[in-house]
Amino acid sequence: MTRALIAVTGVDYWTLADRSRHPSGYWPEELSTPHQIFADAGITITVATPGGAVPTADPAGFNPEYHGGRPEQAQRVKDHLASIAELRSPEILEDVDVADFDFVFVPGGWGPMEDLAVSDSFGSLLRQFADADKPVAAVCHGPAALLPAHDDEGEWLFKGRRVTGFSNAEEYAVGFAPKARWLVEDRLRAAGGLYSSAPGEWAEFVVVDGNLYTGQNPASAAALAERLVRDTAQNTSIVRTLTPSTASRF
């Protein structure tokens, strides 16, 4: 049985350059869709947050405009998240044992930039996954959570690896680039990541480099989750088979 750790931000805000707090958290679609894909594949899922805090979905993520203008789609995501019991009582991320899991997945939202991106303990956890050659995956702003992972020499663990994440162009498109203290693309590049993105904003784009799996934006969440399922199925016993219809479940 494959076992997935979904590491979720524990905060409900994002501190901007002017020190004001913008309401945030995790991006609903980026947790809901992968969770459903993992569950449909028969994967055992554990949700964990820093300190075991109950995670908060970014309220903006339920706006119909982010779901093709379809309020019913936004409501389905909201209802699905409400049905996930482990979101109401997550595990304590600092207590996680890497031996209990086959891969780790980090949903985006601006929240991870606030806590996971500066968490030495989470960086250490990622290194344990990487050292065990277990997949480390993150989508959209989630790759910010990769930043605190370092090797024995203090170098970024993923330096020189191909990676993607929410692009500067997309951050400008949503209006937050001028307000942010830093941008995901900039930090990944500065740390030594070989960053790339889709030619245009909002297109599905997934990058896999060894055991490092990253997706650019919300549109990439399903494809990233499906790739993880396919790849881990080669090394573990999954009792159900992923079908092409999974990506359109919501």
DSSP calls for 191-233: HT-EE---SSTT---EEEETTEEEE-SGGGHHHHHHHHHHHHH
Cβ(165)–Cβ(206) below 8 Å: no
Average pLDDT over residues 6-34: 98
Beta-bridge partner residues of 14: 22
What tokens were used for 1?
């049985």
Specify the pLDDT at position 236.
55
At residue 201, the pLDDT reads: 93
**pLDDT beyond 60 at 238:** no
Q: Write down the H helix ranges in the chain.
A: 28-40, 71-83, 111-114, 120-131, 168-173, 184-191, 221-233
Tokens of 90: 């997550």
pLDDT at 247: 35
Average predicted confidence (pLDDT) for the chain: 94
* Residue ranges per structural domain of the chain: 3-248
The first and second tokens of residue 144, run together, are 């910010």
Span 194-210, pLDDT tens digits: 999 999 899 999 999 99
Residue scoring higher pLDDT (111 or 235): 111
Q: What is the mean pLDDT of residues 37-66?
A: 97
pLDDT band at residue 237 using 50, 70 and 90 as cut-offs: very low
241 — pLDDT class (breaks 50, 70, 90): very low
Is the Cα torsion angle 136, 155, 14, 177 positive or negative in sign? negative
Neighbouring residues of 248: CB distance < 8 A, sequence distance ≥ 6:
none
What's the residue count for the chain?
A: 250
- How many of the other CB atoms lie within 10 Å of CB of 75? 13
Indicate if the pLDDT at residue 246 is higher than 90.
no
Amino acid at 248: S
- Note the pLDDT tens digit of each residue in 159-194: 999 999 999 999 999 999 999 999 999 999 999 999
pLDDT at 239: 32
Instruction: Tell me the three-class secondary structure of 56-117, residue by residue.
Output: CECHHHHCHHHHCCCHHHHHHHHHHHHHCHHHCCCEEHHHCCHHHCCEEEECCCCHHHHCHH
For residues 227, 232, 233 and 234, what is the CA-based torsion angle, rounded to 10 degrees? Answer: 110
Do the beta carbons of residue 215 and residue 224 sit within 8 Å? yes
**Check: CATH 3.40.605.10 for 3-248?**
no
Q: From the CB of residue 237, how many other CB atoms can be counted at a distance below 10 Å?
A: 8
Q: What is the pLDDT of residue 52?
A: 98
17 SS3 class: coil
Is residue 152 pLDDT above 80, yes or no?
Answer: yes
Residue 235 confidence (pLDDT): 73
Mean pLDDT computed over 29-48: 98
Task: Calculate what percentage of the chain has a pLDDT beyond 90.
Answer: 92
Q: Is the pLDDT of residue 106 over 60?
A: yes
Residue 57, pLDDT > 90, answer yes
| pLDDT reading at 110 higher than 80 | yes
* Mean of pLDDT values over 116-124: 98
Contacts of 68 (CB under 8 A, 6+ apart): none
